[in-house]
A and B are shown apart, each in its own frame.
Chain A
């Protein structure tokens, strides 16, 4: 449900959701917490705190929201963002599809290429941690490339074989 965003390692990064709503895990798998885009992290944080403080502390949700609210006011939706990126990374094929759909539905204006990459990462803490390192690793390589366009194919293939994960990749245009 998010496109990648970690800002620690000196990358210029933003994080987005792609769905219609912001969905966070709830007390049961079939009872997620749902918010509209535009709701602030602050609001969500308080809301969850009120609902079940211990549960959401335990599952790390509050911790995450706390970190997030210090970075930016609230969840952003990729579809509503007018910034242009060089690379968009998703962690779930469904999200990847949504991103592609978004680009497809737009009319390219100045034809600046953007690479959309998907690395499947299961939505749990352990996987997320491994995934975070993997993605960071990949981003470093992408960043280091002199000519991203020319190198990306090769880099991704290398990454795939090293991480033993399937990567989806596609080029779109702004």
Chain B
């Protein structure tokens, strides 16, 4: 009974207080009344909560912010007291969160929602079953959660602070507690069962990480206010202390903050922030889990000015550290057996979609908890990686360079912050200091998004987007059975959803207040009429264009450029012209604008524009690019334009095909080709990926008529040809195609138009030297690089007209020489010479052997060709020196029959005339050659030709010296039978070299002893020789037997008288040596007889030698054995022309 009375009492009091409050105008009292009610209900009679909730909550529409805040306090307490209240108030919270009149209310709401969110999750986890009501409340809270998290970008500093705290709460709530955590009795993910369908722990944890990443991002944002920064720092440290797996990330965030304090902070704010950071770090240091990061923390602390003793005091006792170390070394599952772990084990078997199902439960628990640590390790490595990278490179040299480079950026006076915090570096140059500097640099680099660390972790960055949120919702909802909750705000409750879902309406709202909808620009705006739109745009553009100077002065230059670029993307042609004129006025100064514009267009064209398509773009990227470059190309003041043009081609996002065409046109203009081709060159090296698209243009340039352009373009084409196999094929195809045009009867129209010469209709075009060369340039340039192309030429050559053939043969020299004799392709060509291409092959071989002796391979091929297929001896000429002796000798009859000029050439080759003496080697020595000539079978070659050939030899006095001829004569003389031309050669030699007389005499003597009279032709020559060599030949004549001598006298009667006179001058003893019949023949008397007419003996000739005795004696013997043959030679040796 007593209880009832108390209850009634309380109820009455409450009614009274509330009624009073409703009428009160004094807000302070109103708040006091509400507080009293709250006190009464919550603490004295919670059963009344249900009755009065609506009444109290109704005050939320009170005009006074304090009253609304009091209501929030009540709501919070109510939910804390009775979880069932949550669904009843979530909608109210949602309304309060939108409170547009008082920021204080919003902040209080965030605070309340934080608590209620936590309470609700706990409630869900502990409830036996989840009702629709709970489900709705939870998802509505989820929505609010997202909204609050987005408030991190709110305009109000305090709201942002609260949002950060809220995020902290989310992170702590939605992660598992860890062994190293601060002892917190709070509810967290440990208490959420795996089976909770509407709030999957895995998802929650994932979300927590996303939120954490957001916090880190916020923490590092450059314009964060000092309050926010400190709040965020505090939250991060708290998270790190409660969830040690985040420690690494937090520390690197602090490091990066320390290296890049927001520039907006004032001096004292910097001090406060640094102090705060120091405090946070000391706190972290105390935490045993920070053991791994101690080095970094201590460095940071020293930087912040913490003394050694401070650091030492904050260090956990060494014992604990050791324990910690041990723990990390042991397998994690074995070491910790605290409650959270065991708690989770319970849930594992029930979880159907957990991947770790098969793994023993104990491992799962620890494994699941360690996984995030690994992840964190990855993340934190961005700075670590860069640090190692930087430390490796930080040599004194580099450090000095860095200092020098940065010297010019130093301000005149040290900034306050610097002088405040600077402490002289005591440990300069030591390893630890270098490491420290590296770390600082790494933090800066990472912050700036540079360095290997950033590269390595780039893909691991977590981005929280709305999309992610959506995904999450959808994933949670199997097969679309659940949709996002219908909200009062959006009012989009479809019938089906309404049935399925419990719509939560705000409590205490008897008369539904019209709440402000969030502003959606697209809903309330209507497109402008077209002409008005254009007018505004024109005006806006004019203003922007005019505002160049103010913008530059005001530091808004880049903003202006961006604006213009974004606008330009939607310009009409007139506006484009305006823009273009503007740019061309100052190309250098407005280059940045050009690029902003181009990039904007490019983004539009490829569809990643960040700017909604308000208007359809009127001109596409390609058009604009072409317009710009065309405009630049026609500028007379080219200097500035040139730079911009180059930049355009090299730095624009993409060079469209039509621009390449324009550039081609530009390059074929003799006035500008240098720049044009230079641009092509830069494109090739600067945009290697798109080389293929420049090939056609370059090929055309490379085959053009103007030589300078062509040469320069050819260089580029060759460069391309070398750079990749596919491009090479392309180039070669083109070259071969052009080459094949040569095979046509008249030049193809394409070639003529290429050359831009105007040929009147109907006139048949003729191949000219120029036209033919046009087809050949590219091909010939490629030839030394791609030798296999030579076969194409051979095939085409066969088809061409005589004029073209001549042209080809003329231009062939350089490339063939470039290919060289070793080229296997050339050898193959010689081997497989097509019919009709013999002249080509000959030319090729000639070119090859012009300066150098032929290689063995080449000789083999040519010999093969000569022997098996084309027996034209002219093939052999170039390779003569490569053939062997017998081959040359065999070919000689044919060779000397050729036209005299060619024969001369042959001899030159064989004798090495005009060749480099160094590497010349002939298969035949001069001696052998001449001997060979003498030995040519007269049946194969008529005598006259041979004589001509020998004459050629005699003409080469340099080669056929006296000594050489002597050897030749000697060799010839020893042959049997004697060569027909022997005596002719003797006489010729004698004519050339008088001093050979002795040898000649010797020869004659020996011939006499060899019964030369038996060989008619030689005998005839012998007599002639004797006639020419008298009086030296008298001695020889005297050695002849009588019959031959008679023949001599018959042929040359004058000899008889001369010889008689000579004999008459003999002494008696000398005469005795003469055979009687000879004597008689000469003198016409017996040896004993005195001459009828006494004439004085002729004075002995100075050159005449005393008659050799021995030969004579032999002669005599021989003459006895071989009676002289009678019968004069009736075959006159007319052919031999002495």
Residue B272 CB within 8 A of the other chain: yes
**Cross-chain contact A172 with B234 (CB below 8 angstroms):** yes
A107, A168, A172: the one contacting B182 at CB < 8 Å is A107
Interface positions of B from 185 to 242, Cβ below 8 Å from A: 225-227, 230-231, 234, 238
Q: Are A160 and B268 in contact (CB under 8 A)?
A: yes
Which of A110, A150, A152 has a CB less than 8 Å from the CB of B103?
A: A150
Contacts of A111 in B (CB 8 A): 111, 114, 162, 165-166, 169
Bound-state Cα–Cα, A150 to B160, Å:
10
Q: Mark A158-172, 1 if CB is under 8 A from B, else 0.
A: 001000001111111
Across the interface, do A170 and B111 meet the contact criterion of CB distance under 8 Å? no
A121 to B991, CA, bound (A): 134
Binds A, one of B275-283, B798-806, B1096-1104: B275-283
A100-B276, A104-B279, A113-B231 in contact; A153/B156 too (CB < 8 A)?
no
* B165 adjacent to A169 (CB under 8 Å): no
Q: Is the interface of A mostly helix, strand, loop or mixed?
A: mixed
Q: Is the CB of A149 within 8 A of B271?
A: no
Determine whether A35 belongs to the interface, using a CB cutoff of 8 Å to chain B. Answer: no
Q: Check B156 against A149 for contact (C-beta < 8 Å).
A: yes
Check A173 for interface membership: any CB of B closer than 8 A: yes
Contact of B161 among A104, A113, A169 (CB under 8 A): A113
Q: Does B777 contact A (CB under 8 A)?
A: no
A173 touches B104 (CB 8 A): no
Task: List residues 126-158 of chain A with CB under 8 A from any CB of chain B.
Answer: 147-150, 152-153, 156-157
Digitize B250-286: 1 where CB-to-A-CB distance is under 8 Å, 0 elsewhere: 0000000000000000111101100110011001000
For A112, list chain B residues within 8 Å (CB).
Answer: 111
Residue-wise, chain A 38-52 has the 8 Å CB interface mask toward B (1 for contact) of 000000000000000
Within the assembled complex, what's the spacing in Å between the Cα atoms of A167 and B226? 13
B362 at the interface (CB under 8 A from A): no
In whole Å, how far is A9's beta carbon from the nearest beta carbon of chain B?
19
User: Would you list which residues of chain A between 87 and 124 have a CB under 8 Å from chain B?
Assistant: 97, 100-101, 104, 107-108, 110-113, 115
CA–CA, A167 and B275, complex, Å: 12
Chain A residue total in the interface (Cβ 8 A) = 28
**A173-B227 Cα distance, complex, nearest whole Å:** 12
A147–B226 Cα gap in the complex (Å)? Answer: 16
Docked complex Cα distance between A121 and B895 (Å): 122
Number of chain B residues whose Cβ lies closer than 8 Å to a Cβ of chain A: 35
Give the shortest distance, in Å, between A163 (CB) and chain B (any CB). 11
Q: Does B158 contact A (CB under 8 A)?
A: yes
Question: CB distance B111 to A169 under 8 Å?
Answer: no
**Residues of chain A lying within 8 A (CB to CB) of residue B935:** none
Shortest beta-carbon distance, B102 to chain A, in Å? 9
With A111-B111, A113-B231, A171-B231 in contact, do A153 and B157 touch (Cβ < 8 Å)? yes
CB distance from B80 to the nearest CB of A (A): 10
B115 near A: Cβ within 8 Å?
A: yes
List the A side residues contacting B226 at CB < 8 Å: 153, 169
Cross-chain pair count, CB within 8 angstroms: 87
Is B107 among interface residues, defined by CB-CB distance under 8 A?
Answer: yes
Q: Name the distance in Å between A162's Cβ and chain B's nearest Cβ.
A: 13
- Contact A101 B158, beta carbon cutoff 8 Å: no
Query: Which residues of B in the span 133-176 have a Cβ within 8 Å of any Cβ on A?
Result: 156-159, 161-162, 165-166, 169
B451 to chain A, nearest CB (A): 32
Selected from B111, B271, B279, the residue in CB contact (under 8 A) with A166 is: B271
Partner of B227 from the list A100, A108, A149 (CB cut-off 8 Å) is A149
CB nearest to B182 among chain A residues: A107
Question: Given contacts A97-B279, A110-B111, A110-B115, are A148 and B271 in contact (CB under 8 A)?
Answer: no
Q: Which of B103, B169, B266, B283 contacts A147 (CB 8 A)?
A: B103
Contact indicator per residue, chain B 94-111, by CB within 8 Å of chain A (1) or not (0) = 000000000110010001
Q: Which residues of chain B come closer than 8 Å to A168, judged between CB atoms? A: 268, 271-272, 275
> Smallest distance from the beta carbon of B273 to chain A beta carbons, Å?
8
Complex: chain A residue closest to B104, CB-CB? A147
Q: What distance in Å separates the Cβ of B224 from its nearest Cβ neighbour in chain A?
A: 11
Report the Cα distance A111→B168, complex, angstroms: 10
Give the shortest distance, in Å, between B271 (CB) and chain A (any CB): 6
Instruction: Tell me which residues from 18 to 51 in chain A have a Cβ below 8 Å from any Cβ of chain B.
Output: none
On chain B, the residues within 8 Å of A172 by CB distance are 234
Q: Are B111 and A100 in contact (CB under 8 A)?
A: no
CA distance A173 to B107 in the complex (A): 13
User: B184: CB under 8 A from chain A?
Assistant: yes
Q: Closest residue to A93 on the B side, CB-wise?
A: B275
Q: Enumerate chain A residues within 8 angstroms of B238, measured Cβ to Cβ.
A: 108
Report chain A residues within 8 Å CB of B161: 113, 149, 171
Q: Please name all residues of chain A whose beta carbon is closer than 8 Å to the beta carbon of B159 when the two chains form the complex.
A: 149
Q: Are B225 and A153 in touch, CB under 8 angstroms?
A: yes
Task: Give the CA-CA distance A160 to B161 in the complex, in Å.
Answer: 23
Query: In the complex, which residues of chain A have a beta carbon less than 8 angstroms from the beta carbon of B267?
Result: 166
Given the contacts A111-B114, A112-B111, A170 and B272 also touching, CB distance less than 8 Å: yes
Closest A residue to B275 by beta carbon equals A168
In the complex, what residues of A have CB within 8 A of residue B184's CB?
Answer: 107
- Chain A residues within 8 Å of B269, by CB: 153, 157, 169
- Once A97-B279, A170-B230 are accepted as A-B contacts, the answer to whether A147 and B165 lie under 8 Å apart by CB is no
**Chain A: minimal CB distance from B971 (Å):** 119
> Whose C-beta in chain B lies nearest to the C-beta of A165?
B268
A153 to B227, CA, bound (A): 7
Complex Cα gap A167–B156 (Å)? 22
Q: Tell me whether B272 and A169 are in contact (CB under 8 A).
A: yes
Closest to B228 in A: A171
Q: How far is the CB of A166 from chain B (nearest CB, A)?
A: 5
List B contacts of A169 (CB < 8 A).
Answer: 226-227, 268-269, 272
* B275 neighbours in A (Cβ, 8 Å): 97, 100, 168, 170
A173 touches B158 (CB 8 A): no
Query: Contacts of B231 on A, CB cut-off 8 Å?
Result: 113, 171, 173
* Chain A residues whose C-beta falls within 8 Å of the C-beta of B103 in the assembled complex: 147, 149-150
Q: How far is the CA of A168 from the CA of B238 in the complex (A)?
A: 21
Q: How far is the CA of A115 from the CA of B231 in the complex (A)?
A: 11
Q: Across the interface, which residues of B come within 8 angstroms of A152, CB to CB? A: 157, 227
CB-defined contacts of A115 to chain B, threshold 8 Å: 227
Q: Which residue of B lies closest to A100 (CB)?
A: B279
Complex Cα gap A153–B272 (Å): 12
Q: How far is the CA of A165 from the CA of B279 in the complex (A)?
A: 22
Map CB proximity to B onto A56-77 as digits: 1 under 8 Å, 0 otherwise. Answer: 0000000000000000000000
The answer for the CA separation of A109 and B660 in the assembled complex, in Å, is: 68
User: Are A101 and B227 in touch, CB under 8 angstroms?
Assistant: no
Q: Give every chain A residue within 8 A of B225 (Cβ-Cβ).
A: 153
Which A residues are in CB contact (< 8 Å) with B156? Answer: 147, 149-150
CA–CA, A130 and B162, complex, Å: 35
Residues on B with C-beta less than 8 A from A173 are: 165, 231, 234
Q: Which residues of A contact B268 (CB under 8 A)?
A: 156-157, 160, 166-169
* Least Cβ–Cβ distance between A81 and chain B, in angstroms: 20
List the A residue with the shortest CB-CB distance to B112: A110
Per the bound structure, the CA–CA distance linking A169 and B276 in Å amounts to 9
Are A149 and B279 within 8 A (Cβ)?
A: no
Taken together as a complex, chains A and B put the C-alpha atoms of A38 and B184 apart, in Å, by: 30
Given A147-B104, A167-B268, A171-B227, CB of A113 within 8 Å of CB of B158: yes
A-B contact pairs, 28 of them (CB 8 A): A100-B275, A100-B276, A100-B279, A101-B279, A104-B279, A107-B182, A108-B165, A108-B238, A111-B111, A113-B158, A113-B161, A147-B104, A148-B158, A149-B161, A150-B157, A153-B157, A153-B226, A153-B227, A157-B268, A157-B269, A167-B272, A169-B226, A169-B227, A169-B272, A170-B272, A170-B276, A171-B231, A173-B231
Which residue numbers of B lie inside 8 Å of A, CB to CB? 103-104, 107, 111, 114-115, 156-159, 161-162, 165-166, 169, 182, 184, 225-227, 230-231, 234, 238, 266-269, 271-272, 275-276, 279-280, 283
**Chain A contacts to B: CB under 8 angstroms:** 97, 100-101, 104, 107-108, 110-113, 115, 147-150, 152-153, 156-157, 160, 166-173
Other than the known A113-B231, A157-B266, what 5 A-B pairs have Cβ atoms closer than 8 Å?
A111-B162, A148-B158, A156-B268, A169-B269, A170-B272
A-B pairs, 3 with minimum CB distance: A149-B158, A111-B165, A150-B157
